[in-house]
Structure 1
């Protein structure tokens, strides 16, 4: 498998605070990688550098052979919209929209017709056990249901990479395990690579490769 995402010597500072220090990271196509660390370790800051949301203070991030810092803002936004997906701890769904409408958003933003986008959204939602709730507003969902919709929205356009920031951190253990299992099963079926930021060792254990982060320093864990 070839490399879809690479970071070389990435650093990020906020004022005088060094959030990320000289981080090296590689992600193969279809691979699931976990970055584990406690709150404040810098793992979320690194995630947003890898996703092109935050420009690093130093070092480079390369996506599919293209250095992100070389892209104009419009091209970078288009790349994030079409080739990347995002799952956040609290879903970040639009409460005024239905399950189906939230899931279809990336497709509609890419110019796909409403009818086709809703068909594609329905297919992904069914795989995640949400096929009976297409017309329900997301404000009426449970936490586990909301995260399934967030996962569906992140994967519906078959991105190359999904970035997940504590995707199960707000769920109880039963829902967390189920959502993570369904998320990774669908991602692997689609050959979508995933970067998961987590403080949970059980979540990290499901990844193909594991990194730890402490005080801004990233270290790859080597399997025993």
Structure 2
């Protein structure tokens, strides 16, 4: 498999407090990796460093061999918009937009015209069982439905990597399992790599590779 994302010797600080310590990480195209850890372990800080949102104090993060540190702020913003997708614990959908409009947003921001962007949004929403909700406001959706929209928005532009921060943490166990399976099925169909941060071992069990974060230190878990 082709390597898509790499971190080497990454340290991240908040003031004098070290959140991530000398992390090395490699992600292959189409791979699903789970980073487990308790609250405060540094797993979300690492996720946002890998996504180019937080700049490490030391070390490098690179996509396809291009180090984030060599890019301008504008170039890095474009990279995140065009080649990454994000799924957050509470969806972070825009309440003033419909389901279809929320999903099409990454394509519209990339310059796609409204009609083809909405067609693409409808297709990915259909694969997630959300066709009948296209024109609803997100305030009219259940938690599970909202998170399916968040997944659709993250995948509609077929990114190289999706970063998911506790993507099922706000859902009950039945909805969590269903959304996670649909999310990973669609990502694998697109050959999109996924990095999931979670405290839940049952979520991590769906990944190809599992890591554990403890006090900022990342270790790979060996298969049982």
Fold match by TM threshold 0.5: yes
- SS of the aligned residue for 1:169 comes to coil
Q: d(CA) in 2 for partners of 1:78 and 1:92? A: 20
Q: d(CA) in 2 for partners of 1:13 and 1:76? A: 20
User: Counterpart of 1:180?
Assistant: 180
Aligned residues: 224
User: Counterpart of 1:48?
Assistant: 48
1:4 maps onto 2:7 in alignment:
no
- SS of the aligned residue for 1:112 comes to coil
Q: d(CA) in 2 for partners of 1:171 and 1:73? A: 35
- SS of the aligned residue for 1:164 comes to strand
Residues 123-165 of structure 1 deviation map (CA, whole Å, 9 limit, x = unaligned) = 0000001011000001111100000000000000000000000
User: Counterpart of 1:209?
Assistant: 209
- SS of the aligned residue for 1:105 comes to helix
Q: d(CA) in 1 for partners of 2:50 and 2:155? A: 18
User: Counterpart of 2:163?
Assistant: 163
Q: d(CA) in 2 for partners of 1:195 and 1:68? A: 18
1:194 maps onto 2:204 in alignment:
no
User: Counterpart of 1:126?
Assistant: 126
- SS of the aligned residue for 1:90 comes to coil
Q: d(CA) in 1 for partners of 2:111 and 2:220? A: 39
Q: d(CA) in 2 for partners of 1:10 and 1:2? A: 22
Report runs of 4+ in structure 1 exceeding 4 Å deviation.
none
Residues 174-202 of structure 1 deviation map (CA, whole Å, 9 limit, x = unaligned) = 00000000000000000000000000000
How do residues 17-32 of structure 1 correspond to structure 2 at under 5 angstroms? Answer: 17-32=17-32
The Cα of 1:222 is off from its aligned counterpart by 1.1
- SS of the aligned residue for 1:26 comes to strand
Residues 61-90 of structure 1 deviation map (CA, whole Å, 9 limit, x = unaligned) = 011110011100111000000000000000
- SS of the aligned residue for 2:39 comes to coil
The Cα of 1:7 is off from its aligned counterpart by 0.4
What TM-score comes out, normalization by structure 2 length? 0.99
User: Counterpart of 1:218?
Assistant: 218
The Cα of 1:41 is off from its aligned counterpart by 0.4
The Cα of 1:16 is off from its aligned counterpart by 1.4
Q: CA RMSD in A?
A: 0.5
- SS of the aligned residue for 1:218 comes to strand
